[in-house]
Amino acid sequence: MANFWDLPKPVRERIYRLHLVQEDPVDLAAFEACCGGGLPPTWSSHESRRGDPQFLKVCKKTEREAASIYFGENTFVCAQPHEVRAWRVRLWPRHLSLIRALAINGWTTPEDHGGGYNECFRLLAAFKGLKVLTLKVDERMSLERKLRRHQTIKWHSSLYCSPQLQLQVLHFDGIQGLKSLTNIPQIEFPPLTEEGRKRNGNSAPSSVVCLTRW
C-alpha cells in the first residue's frame, strides 16, 4: 500500500509548504501556537522551554525534510529587543541556524531596554544562516532622545541636525553592534509605518533610511 513516503520529494515539499509557510511574519506567539502552546516561560532554566512546530514532530524524517522549509522560508519577527534572546531560548540551535529572514519591527530607544541595541545585535550572531535582516526603527526619534541626554550638547526638537550633532550618531547605541553583523549579506532599513511611530510615541514623520550591504 502506497504511503506518504512513496510520493516524490518535490510533492512532499509542496505539502510541507502548504502547511508551514505563513503569509505573515512569525512572532513568538505564533510560533508557540504552532508548537501546541503550553511552553514554559523563556526565563525558565528547563530545557523543555524549547519548542518544535507540531508538524515536525510526526517523525524524524519529517523533521529533517520540513524544518528547513518552516525556518528557512518564513520571516521571523522581534517586536522588542529582548525577543532576540527569547528566540534563542525557544529554538533548538539546529533550527536557529536555519532561519534566513528576520525582521526587527518597531523597536523603541535602546535606553528603555537595559543592554540596548548593541547587546541585541551581538545576540544575532547565533542566527548563523541569516541572509536578510530588516530593521524597522524610528532612527530620528532614537537620535533625538540620545542627544537630549547628552552632557554638553543642548538639544531641542526645533533644531536641525548640525554636522556636530550628526557626529553623535557614531556613538549611538547599536552602531558598533551593527558593524559586528558581518555575516549577514543584506540589511535593510525600511520606513517606520504610522502605526509604528504612534506606538513609539512619535507622530512626526520619520526620515527614511534604506541600506543594503552586500
Output 40 or 102, whichever has higher pLDDT: 102
For 142, other C-beta atoms within 10 Å of its C-beta total 24
Mean pLDDT in residue range 32-51: 78
User: Would you list the domain boundaries of the chain?
Assistant: 12-199
The amino acid that residue 159 corresponds to is L
DSSP string, 137-185: E-HHHHHHHHHHT-SS----TTS---HHHHHGGGGSTTHHHHHT-TT-S
Q: Nearest-CA neighbor of 161 among 146, 173, 176, 151?
A: 146
User: Is 202 a residue whose pLDDT tops 60?
Assistant: no
* CA distances (Å), origin 30, targets 18, 38, 55, 166, 205: 16, 13, 14, 39, 30
**Band of pLDDT at residue 200, cut at 50, 70 and 90:** very low
pTM here is: 0.75
Mean pLDDT in residue range 40-48: 68
**Band of pLDDT at residue 74, cut at 50, 70 and 90:** very high
Cell of 86: 527569547
pLDDT of residue 208: 34
Helices (H) and strands (E) in the chain, counts: 10, 4
User: What average pLDDT does the chain have?
Assistant: 76
pLDDT of residue 161: 61
User: Is 166 a residue whose pLDDT tops 50?
Assistant: yes
**Band of pLDDT at residue 193, cut at 50, 70 and 90:** low
Q: Nearest-CA neighbor of 137 among 154, 112, 155?
A: 112
* Burial (CB count <10 Å: 0-12, 13-18, 19+), residue 113: middle
pLDDT of residue 42: 72
Output 192 or 185, whichever has higher pLDDT: 185
Asked if residues 197 and 138 have their Cβ atoms less than 8 Å apart, the reply is yes
User: Is 61 a residue whose pLDDT tops 50?
Assistant: yes
User: Is 211 a residue whose pLDDT tops 60?
Assistant: no
pLDDT of residue 56: 93
* Percentage of the chain exceeding pLDDT 70: 62
